[in-house]
Chain A
Amino acid sequence: MEVVIVVLVVIAALLVIASGVWVAIALVSAVSKRKPRVKRGAKYLAPSFTGGSAQCHANDKNSDEGIL
């Protein structure tokens, strides 16, 4: 019983560390994406964490499909 409790605590600690690593990977990917190139004639592009274009996000707004 004693060992089981400690093992549970250790598993919890490892799960928390795994979550931290997952978010860190997402963060690195979000901040290291290069800004999308502005096409000639386009006024501006919508800001994005994924580097997608304004049109892409406009299409995606309120949809459950995500970016294809």
Chain B
Amino acid sequence: MVSSVLVVVVYLAVLTFVAVRARAARQFSEFSLAGRALPLALVFGSLAATYVGPGFSIGFVGRGFKSGFLFLSIGLAYSVQNILVGLLVAPRLRGLENCHTLGDAIGQKYDRKCQIVAGVISVGLCAGFAAVMASAGGVVLSDTFGMPIWSSVTIVVGVTALYTTFGGLRASVITDAFQFSAFAILLPITLLLVLALNLNQGASTFTEEAATATVAGFSSTSPIEIVGLMAAFLLGETLIPPYANRALASRTTRISRNGFILAGVFSVVWFMVMIALGVTARSIIPESTGEDHVLLNLVKSTIPAGGYALLLVVLVSIVMSSLDSLLNAGAVAFTEDIVKPFMCLPDKAALNVGRSATIIIAAIAAAGAVAVPSIISGLLICYTIWAPAILPALIIGLWLKRPRPLAGILSMLVGTAVAIVFQFIFPSAVKIPAIILALSSALLAYMLGHWIERIKCGV
């Protein structure tokens, strides 16, 4: 216990040092886009640290434990998405002038109303994703120290909000890089240690367990569920506000493109490592272990106490690196897309609004953390809303020569409404996954809006 506390204290001290070195943001452009000066390694590290949240670590280890390599094939959809965004979308986004957020990009392509709607959706989704992260961080701390969940959530959200509020995107990226290095080095080492020391009969046991779990996974998941999950992983996190901010903050368009491509390739090897950890756990911990507790229990039963404390640090890093990005992206979207269209804000005032919004979104996330069902389920709910709400309007808008505002606004409103109705109100009304239904509706609404405005303008 004492060694665990010591490791956490040392970790927090180093994190504070790194955050202080990143310096407080003095202008809104520093707070929102880190002066548009990020080099490739930091864009890549920050992107990977943001998407590797509790879902892609604790969640994937749990899925590897239950369904073997099934989730590796589903996760590949996510890797493909990142590479496609790098090749097709990120450079176009980075090429836009005076663009701080996705809402800005949508506002430039359509009109101000579309920007405000995109801003409201962005802030809502950032708060939702942040609540999932806060919940995961709370679970990790309370499992380890036996603290009440509300105090664990408060500690994780409080520390993260503190450095994000003052340092903005720059502090977020710098601390992300530190946290990425911590978990990208320590978790694979854990896997190598478990493989070397704890797996009886080595390779054959691992392969047998992998085959058994994968067959069980495929037989317990229907093809339509697999299609729905692949759609969620392919589209659900595409260009969510923190990723878009990193595309916009890259030093050049080339760095923006390469950062996303590298992050996509990295996700393949990362998923392999997480799934492999889950598979190795099958012969070590009881089969009845809950999905979200597999990684913690595996390490508890295989690594000495000091190692367990290190893992705790890794898990807290994973949570904080995603949470800080979401808080910053939500605050920037609030300032740029919701407040600025209604009033002229001097730079200093915009910086203060951004900082205040960071604290408010952090408080909402902490309060909402108790309502999160489970890490993966929470993430899937957010994916289901984000993809139909924003992607058709954003991606088509970036590619069309003359995108129509009515098409953009209709697609965002219809996509959001259909996703909410079929995710929350009538979840079992149709057999098709809500994300596919909502995405098709958003695309139809876009085409309808485009057609109506085209007839109206006679062009």
Footprint of B on A, CB under 8 Å? 1-3, 5-6, 8-10, 12-17, 19-27, 30-31, 46-50, 52, 57, 60-67
Q: Which of A9, A27, A63, A66 contacts B174 (CB 8 A)?
A: A27
Check B273–A16 contact: CB distance below 8 A: yes
User: A8, B272: Cβ atoms under 8 Å?
Assistant: yes
21 examples of A-B residue contacts, CB within 8 angstroms: A10-B195, A13-B191, A16-B269, A19-B184, A23-B42, A23-B177, A24-B181, A26-B45, A26-B177, A27-B18, A27-B42, A27-B181, A30-B174, A46-B37, A47-B25, A47-B30, A49-B37, A50-B39, A57-B35, A57-B37, A64-B253
Q: Is the CB of B204 within 8 A of A30?
A: no
Let me know if B252 and A60 touch, CB within 8 A.
yes
In the assembly, what is the distance between CA of A24 and CA of B184, in Å?
10
Closest to A25 in B: B41
Residue of B nearest to A14 (CB): B188
Q: Is the CB of B36 within 8 A of A31?
A: no
Query: Chain B contact residues: over half helix, strand or loop, or mixed?
Result: helix
Query: Within the complex, what minimum Cβ distance (angstroms) separates A24 from chain B?
Result: 4
Total B residues in contact with A, Cβ cutoff 8 Å = 55
A50 to B207, CA, bound (A): 46
Out of B26, B42, B195, B253, name the residue touching A62 (CB < 8 Å): B253
Cβ of B182: which chain A residues have Cβ within 8 Å of it? 20
Contact status B191-A17, CB under 8 Å: no
B21-57 residues with Cβ-Cβ distance < 8 A to A are 21-23, 25-26, 30, 34-39, 41-42, 44-45, 48
Q: Does B234 contact A (CB under 8 A)?
A: no
Q: Mark B123-148, 1 if CB is under 8 A from A, else 0.
A: 00000000000000000000000000
Closest to A61 in B: B36
Structural contact, A17 and B185, CB atoms closer than 8 A: yes
Known: A17-B184, A62-B97. 8 other contacts (CB 8 A): A12-B272, A13-B189, A23-B44, A27-B177, A49-B42, A50-B37, A57-B35, A65-B252
